[in-house]
Amino acid sequence: MDNHPFPLTPAAVDLIRNPRARRYILRVGPDKVVRVTIPRGGSEAFARRFAEQKADWILRQLKRLADTPAASPTLPWQSGTTIWYRGEPVLLESFGEGCRVADQTIRLGNPHDDWRPAVEAHLRRLAEREFPPLVFAAATRLGVTLRRVSIRNQRTRWGSCSRRGTLSLNWRLIQTPELVRDYLFAHELAHVREMNHSQRFWQVVDDFFPAWREAEAWLKRNGRSVLS
């Protein structure tokens, strides 16, 4: 492939400093923005040279994104729509002035509007009520010091953990099986011990939750549809 000067397209180069990063990391996002993560002690000048050296790779990623068909518009949720709830696909059903999702009844402002905002808000409230006590109980059982649990609306990740013992969890875990939910709790608690994905980290995960491979397999099969 021919060598080209950088930049090759209008895509911006976004330089992101991350003191926890151990190396320079180059990514091209779905928005076609080139991002370079700069580790502790790194320089912006080197980050830009690093991106220039990977110009051909960047071109290939941009071409792949350009060739990927645009996603179809999301259909509104209504009676008969199937969604995930506690690991099972369930139908939304009309019920009085609202709708029913398995064992949950949800009031709707206008049944003729898209049901999705009301249903998702209800499921998030369930997660906010259920998850923190479960995570704190797991932390106590596993001997992990935990300070806080927050429930967030994330589209690309299931959770995160800070060095200070604050866990952030995706409310959509309420849509996964208990096996998967409990695995993600254990996964994030393991990060309190190991803030990485090293072999040591996965050994902690294995100690905390021996069935993690089964949970990962479910996520691989169904995780994208839950997050969509």
Cα–Cα nearest to 119, from 138, 99, 147, 149:
99
- Judge residue 110's burial from the number of C-beta atoms within 10 Å of its C-beta, 0-12 exposed, 13-18 middle, 19 or more buried: exposed
Task: Provide the 8-state DSSP code for 171.
Answer: G
**Contact (Cβ atoms closer than 8 angstroms) between residue 78 and residue 87:** no
**Contact (Cβ atoms closer than 8 angstroms) between residue 102 and residue 89:** no
Where in the sequence of the chain do the CATH 3.30.2010.10 domains occur?
123-227
pLDDT recorded at residue 174: 97
| β pairing state of 34-38 and 104-107 | unpaired
98 - beta bridge partners?
Answer: 95, 107
Q: What percent of the chain stands above pLDDT 90?
A: 56
Domain 123-227: CATH class, spelled out: alpha beta
pLDDT recorded at residue 207: 97
pLDDT recorded at residue 33: 77
pLDDT recorded at residue 70: 55
- CA dist 98 → 63, 123, 226 (Å): 46, 14, 23
Task: Provide the 8-state DSSP code for 70.
Answer: P
Cα–Cα nearest to 145, from 166, 170, 159, 129:
166
Give Cα 82 distance to the centre of its chain. 21
Six-digit token string for 155:
């589209």
**Contact (Cβ atoms closer than 8 angstroms) between residue 84 and residue 171:** no
**Contact (Cβ atoms closer than 8 angstroms) between residue 123 and residue 175:** yes
What is the average per-residue pLDDT within 88-117? 91
Q: Cα separation of 132 and 26, whole Å? A: 35
What is the average per-residue pLDDT within 205-220? 95
pLDDT recorded at residue 68: 67
Give Cα 80 distance to the centre of its chain. 27
What is the average per-residue pLDDT within 83-98? 92
3-state secondary structure of 126: helix
User: Could you count the other beta carbons within 10 Å of the beta carbon of residue 35?
Assistant: 18
Six-digit token string for 20:
């926890």
Please report which confidence band the pLDDT of residue 21 belongs to, taking 50, 70 and 90 as the band edges. confident
Q: What is the pLDDT of residues 128-171, one digit of tens each?
A: 999 999 999 999 999 999 999 999 998 888 999 888 889 999 99
User: Could you count the other beta carbons within 10 Å of the beta carbon of residue 154?
Assistant: 15
Six-digit token string for 194:
């190991």
